[in-house]
């Protein structure tokens, strides 16, 4: 077996399962989970209808490069969403089986396993970044989120000898777990470093369509590049998905877009990787990317939940509304793992300890004494969970 498999860390939800196994209290009669970021809103009926009507597509092998109509649809969506020229659908767009699959396989294509390379990962992070780096034969270098930067990063603090060995940098904007959005100045800094040290930027934008102010949509990586005169997207590849935007996590549909030279090499990798998108999924994806009404409704549902939950939690918990996404990144009054266990024991509400989403780096674990709450359940369940959390904290005060 690949010896690098032994270097992988347990997934956060396995750690959570082991933590909650310590709970010896009787199971709560009505448990509520805020731990997993799986969309729970209904899948739009029109997507189901297109899927059903497209089943004849099962009779043919799909092209690795993806359906041409889907690539054109994605290119036009990018142009509308970010108010930039449409990327070339033939050279700068590849459909993917969700952003998770693409992030992992992209890392394998980019990293030379003999180069003793670094992959710079945000900390906390989506664990695919770390696992993909390890299995590609690279060493993760963690850059800690800083609360005083709205959970952004001090890219200038990374030592030059690390940058010299860096081949890939992961960014997530809007961020998981804090919902922070990279500014144009942050992109300018990262692009300049990429120019100097010739590393690739992998921008995970799977939360880009869940935001709360229609006049302040999250800035995207391709959009930032255009604003800064980088219209070839050199060393930049962005990843997006329909899972959160359209409430279809089981569809496994997303895309990769950016630097044409990198995309050409990635397409070669995918020829052997075996990750072509079915024509059935392609047709449903075209329908989803071409419709914004259901996305507006999706944002409304999340906005209502945040507006209802925050007034309940903020008097008892240090928590702020994120810039985007569907998570609350709340500070805890004591150890995040003990808090999560106590909360589950006494209220039946499950949250994810922040330390499970991060690694100790530079002397600290930036997830310590924080928990992530995913407001993915229905509004009434989220409100009930907030009331239970508030009552629990008031009893401990």
- Within-domain flag for 47: no
Half-sphere exposure of 171 (CA within 13 A, CB side): 30
- Within-domain flag for 54: no
Q: Is the pLDDT of residue 24 over 90?
A: no
Q: What pLDDT shows up at residue 73?
A: 98
Which residues does 238 contact at the CB level (< 8 Å), separation at least 6? 203, 205, 220, 221, 222, 256, 257, 258
Q: Is the pLDDT of residue 182 over 90?
A: yes
Q: Is the pLDDT of residue 321 over 80?
A: yes
Statement to judge: residues 70 and 208 lie in one domain: yes
CATH of the domain at 38: 3.90.1150.10
Q: Is the pLDDT of residue 332 over 90?
A: yes
Statement to judge: residues 204 and 306 lie in one domain: no
Statement to judge: residues 323 and 276 lie in one domain: no
Statement to judge: residues 184 and 224 lie in one domain: yes
In the chain, how many domains are there?
Answer: 2
- Within-domain flag for 220: yes
- Within-domain flag for 53: no
Mean pLDDT of the chain: 96
- Within-domain flag for 48: no
Statement to judge: residues 117 and 253 lie in one domain: yes
Domain span at residue 126 reads 59-291
Q: 198 or 274, which is more confident?
A: 198
Q: What pLDDT shows up at residue 221?
A: 98
Domain boundary among 248, 276, 291: 291
CATH of the domain at 87: 3.40.640.10
State how far the Cα of 82 lies from the Cα of 109, in Å rounded to an integer. 27
Statement to judge: residues 286 and 372 lie in one domain: no
Task: Indicate the pTM of the whole model.
Answer: 0.96
Q: Where are the alpha helices (DSSP H) in 157-290?
A: 160-165, 184-197, 221-227, 242-246, 260-273, 279-289
Q: Is the pLDDT of residue 29 over 90?
A: no
- Within-domain flag for 49: no
Q: What pLDDT shows up at residue 23?
A: 85
Q: What pLDDT shows up at residue 234?
A: 98
Q: Is the pLDDT of residue 155 over 80?
A: yes
> 342: exposed, middle or buried (C-beta count within 10 Å: 0-12, 13-18, 19+)?
middle
Going by their DSSP bridges, the two strands 32-33 and 349-350 should be labelled as parallel
pLDDT band for position 28 (cuts 50, 70, 90) = confident
Q: Is the pLDDT of residue 102 over 90?
A: yes
In this prediction, what percent of the chain has a pLDDT beyond 70?
Answer: 100
Statement to judge: residues 242 and 372 lie in one domain: no
Domain boundary among 273, 291, 309: 291
Statement to judge: residues 81 and 178 lie in one domain: yes
> 212: exposed, middle or buried (C-beta count within 10 Å: 0-12, 13-18, 19+)?
middle
pLDDT tens for each residue of 221-247: 999 999 999 999 999 999 999 999 999
Statement to judge: residues 263 and 384 lie in one domain: no
Domain boundary among 231, 266, 291: 291
- Within-domain flag for 101: yes
In this prediction, what percent of the chain has a pLDDT beyond 90?
Answer: 96
Statement to judge: residues 298 and 193 lie in one domain: no
How much is the average pLDDT of 124-133? Answer: 97
Statement to judge: residues 12 and 99 lie in one domain: no
Q: Distance between the two ends of the chain, CA-based, in angstroms?
A: 52
Q: Is the pLDDT of residue 25 over 80?
A: no
Q: Is the pLDDT of residue 397 over 80?
A: no
Statement to judge: residues 200 and 307 lie in one domain: no
């Amino acid at each position: 077996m690949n010896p690098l498999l032994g270097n992988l860390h347990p997934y956060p939800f396995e750690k959570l399962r082991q933590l909650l196994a310590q709970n010896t209290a009787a199971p709560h009669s009505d448990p509520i989970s805020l731990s997993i970021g799986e969309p729970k809103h209904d899948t739009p009926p029109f997507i189901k209808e297109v899927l059903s009507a497209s089943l004849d597509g099962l009779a043919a092998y799909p092209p690795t490069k993806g359906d041409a109509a889907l690539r054109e649809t994605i290119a036009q969506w990018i142009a509308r969403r970010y108010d930039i020229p449409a990327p070339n659908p033939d050279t700068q767009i590849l459909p993917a089986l969700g952003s998770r699959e693409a992030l992992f396989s992209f890392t394998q294509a980019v990293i030379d396993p003999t180069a003793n390379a670094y992959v710079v990962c945000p900390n906390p992070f989506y664990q695919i970044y770390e696992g993909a780096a390890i299995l590609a034969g690279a060493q993760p270098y963690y850059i800690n989120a800083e609360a005083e930067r709205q959970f952004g990063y001090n890219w200038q603090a990374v030592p030059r000898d690390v940058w010299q060995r860096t081949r890939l940098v992961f960014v997530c904007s809007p961020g998981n777990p804090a919902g922070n959005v990279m500014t144009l100045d942050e992109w300018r800094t990262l692009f300049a470093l990429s120019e100097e040290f010739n590393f690739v930027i992998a921008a995970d934008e799977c939360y880009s369509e869940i935001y709360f102010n229609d006049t302040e949509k999250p800035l995207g990586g391709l959009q930032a590049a255009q604003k800064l005169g980088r219209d070839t997207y050199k060393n930049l590849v962005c990843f997006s998905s329909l899972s959160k935007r359209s409430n279809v996590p089981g569809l496994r549909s997303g895309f990769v877009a950016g630097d044409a030279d990198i995309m050409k090499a990635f397409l070669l990798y995918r020829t052997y990787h075996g990750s072509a998108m079915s024509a059935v999924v392609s047709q449903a994806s075209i329908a989803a990317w071409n419709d914004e009404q259901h996305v507006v409704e999706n944002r409304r549902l999340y906005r209502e939940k945040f507006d209802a939950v925050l007034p309940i939690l903020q008097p008892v918990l240090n928590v702020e509304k994120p810039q985007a996404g569907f998570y609350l990144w709340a500070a805890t009054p004591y150890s995040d793992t003990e808090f999560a266990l106590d909360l589950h024991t006494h209220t039946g509400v499950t949250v994810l300890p922040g330390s499970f989403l991060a690694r100790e780096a530079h002397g600290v674990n930036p997830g310590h004494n924080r928990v992530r709450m995913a407001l993915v359940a229905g509004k009434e369940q989220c409100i009930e969970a907030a009331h239970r959390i508030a009552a629990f904290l008031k009893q401990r005060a």
